[in-house]
Chain A
Amino acid sequence: MQTLSARIDFTRPDFRLRAHLRLPDSGITAVLGPSGSGKSTLLRLLAGLERPRAGCIRLGEHIWFSRAQAIDRPPSARAIGFMFQHYALFPHLSVAENIGYGLARGRERQRRVAEWIERLELAGLERRRPDALSGGQRQRVALARALAPRPRLLLLDEPFSAVDASLRQSLRLLLQELVSENDTSAILVTHDLEDARQCADRIGVMIAGRVRRLGESAEVLADPGDAEVARVLGWPNTLPVTQWAGDEACGTWGRVRLSRAPARAHEVVALLPDGPRPGAREGLEVEIAQVIEMGAYRALSCRLPDRTPLRLHLPRALPCPARGARTRIAVPPECVIALPARASVRFNHWSPHP
């Protein structure tokens, strides 16, 4: 098993990244985080495009970087595939030449390029230059180019950020299929939670240069670990707790009940935006500040009695209170979790049996 393990210390004048992680050799790991958190830098460090100040990066037996052993393999010797945010296709080369760039010259190259062109439905575009392709086509060329040399690890930097929502869906599926077909593993840096939800086997969360949470997707999404990570993972509502009464958390904003009392008296409760419903007899008191139509649902910006903002998603089928209305919202206990404000960073490793 070719586990990727990395212990990295990297500094720039305005930024420090310290990461300690271990990943298995299959499936997709999505790395989420606010912009400037160091996600792309982590990817570049793994690829060898940036050099750590200290640490060690290895894939299975192969040491890519080791400060102690004075090893620093260049990107060309790391058996990686890298898909850049804006693809970085070679503008002077055709589609076929771009895909074949990483392959050794010869008849074998022609055959493999033809296979990739067929697999990614690029037939008829072989001789086109990248500037004559659509966004989705460029993306498929970039994926084929990165995968053609059979990398052991595929690194993707915001690969879906430049295409529209309808294409994203099919590209996520394609990525999943390609990663499993080619028997490789992938690290996908994204700021879009949907990317992680839909195609990642594991999720990592980076904040301010640290990997704050890493684990199986379902596990991480259900238990972010702390309030800061929760916000990255789509828990927009975090409320400070001043007092616990058994399974009930109280604060200046009101009180909510959890499905069970937390093991420790955590400082924060996080509320999912999807479960709570307005128009209840009892529950949190809110004032509706804004209603935004989002298509399938309405996004409600509410204010709690102490002016703390609360965001709710209400299905279109349900009656919606008017802007400015005061109402109570019922919060089902399963929509609430208790969290520490900020957990200490532990060594982050993936393990198949948590």
Chain B
Amino acid sequence: MGFSDADLQAIWLTLRLASLVTVLLLLIGTPIAWWLARTRSAWKGPVGALVALPLVLPPTVLGFYLLLAMGPNGPVGQLTESLGLGLLPFTFWGLVVASVFYSMPFVVQPIQNAIEALGERPLEAAATLRAGPWDRFLTVVVPLARPGFLTAAILGFAHTVGEFGVVLMIGGNIPGETRVVSVQIYDYVEAMDYGQAHWLAASLVIFSFLVLLVLYSLNHRQALR
């Protein structure tokens, strides 16, 4: 017993997907979190709720609407086709796009909380010391909100690794393209191959536990400092 070639392929695909999604989420989520943390606009409520939606929606619902949007008659689908990129459903990039939506709240909320906790004072102090907006972000916000960014990255990564419903709706089950670990486990269970399913499922449990352990001990150390 051990990992089969198909397992290794699924693991590699999952890690590639989760890493890419984490990087994209940090790039997209940070400005959204920044805006949500500091705006006094009336749009704060609606935008915040929209970002948090994947927390409460069944993944199939999110997946269903993303499938429609990315399909040949959907606005995203028509856009990608007119750009010569083809259609996104049942491709790796379709999974990436869907995962970005699905894991968004796990990245935005920790960063937003960290920026809110920072308050105005350090940024104002930096502004009176000649620091421009970009300088203030890099020298004040990033170091002071580091635990928030770390939490966001780890949760975003782990949540993408663990997703299933959205993957099935958008990606289907194509080896090497969209068959991630969770789908591979599902396949084994369906084929009554419990031994093989155990290998993957147990390693996912251990992986998730380790990720959370690292996160909590890092945050604990930060709190002690």
Interface string of A78-114 (1 = CB under 8 A from B): 0011101010111110000000011000000000000
CB-CB under 8 A from A48, the residues of chain B are 127
Residue tally, chain A, CB below 8 Å to B: 21
> Does A47 sit at the interface, judged by CB under 8 A?
yes
> Does A71 sit at the interface, judged by CB under 8 A?
no
Q: Nearest chain-B residue to A145 (Cβ)?
A: B129
Cross-chain contact A90 with B130 (CB below 8 angstroms): no
Secondary structure at chain A's binding surface: helix, strand, loop or mixed?
Answer: loop
Interface size classification for chain B: 10 to 19
Q: How far is the CA of A24 from the CA of B131 in the complex (A)?
A: 27
Q: Nearest chain-A residue to B119 (Cβ)?
A: A88
- State how many angstroms separate the Cβ of A130 from the closest Cβ of chain B: 11
- Tell me the residues in window 86-135 of chain B with beta carbons closer than 8 Å to chain A beta carbons: 121-122, 124-132
- State how many angstroms separate the Cβ of B4 from the closest Cβ of chain A: 48
CB-CB under 8 A from A145, the residues of chain B are 129
CB-CB under 8 A from A82, the residues of chain B are 124-125, 128
> Does B143 sit at the interface, judged by CB under 8 A?
yes
Q: A88-B124, A88-B125, A90-B122 are in contact. Are A76 and B140 (CB under 8 A)?
A: no
- Tell me the residues in window 132-176 of chain A with beta carbons closer than 8 Å to chain B beta carbons: 145-146, 149
Cross-chain contact B128 with A76 (CB below 8 angstroms): yes
CB-CB under 8 A from B121, the residues of chain A are 84, 86, 88
Q: How far is the CA of A146 from the CA of B126 in the complex (A)?
A: 10
Q: How far is the CA of A300 from the CA of B64 in the complex (A)?
A: 81
CB-CB under 8 A from A86, the residues of chain B are 121
Q: How far is the CA of A75 from the CA of B121 in the complex (A)?
A: 13
- State how many angstroms separate the Cβ of A282 from the closest Cβ of chain B: 58
CB-CB under 8 A from B129, the residues of chain A are 76, 101-102, 145-146, 149
CB-CB under 8 A from A280, the residues of chain B are none
Interface of B toward A, CB cutoff 8 Å: 121-122, 124-132, 139-140, 143-144
Interface of A toward B, CB cutoff 8 Å: 47-49, 74-76, 80-82, 84, 86, 88-92, 101-102, 145-146, 149
User: Can you add 5 more A-B contacts, CB < 8 Å, to A49-B127, A90-B126, A149-B130?
Assistant: A49-B124, A74-B127, A90-B140, A90-B144, A102-B131
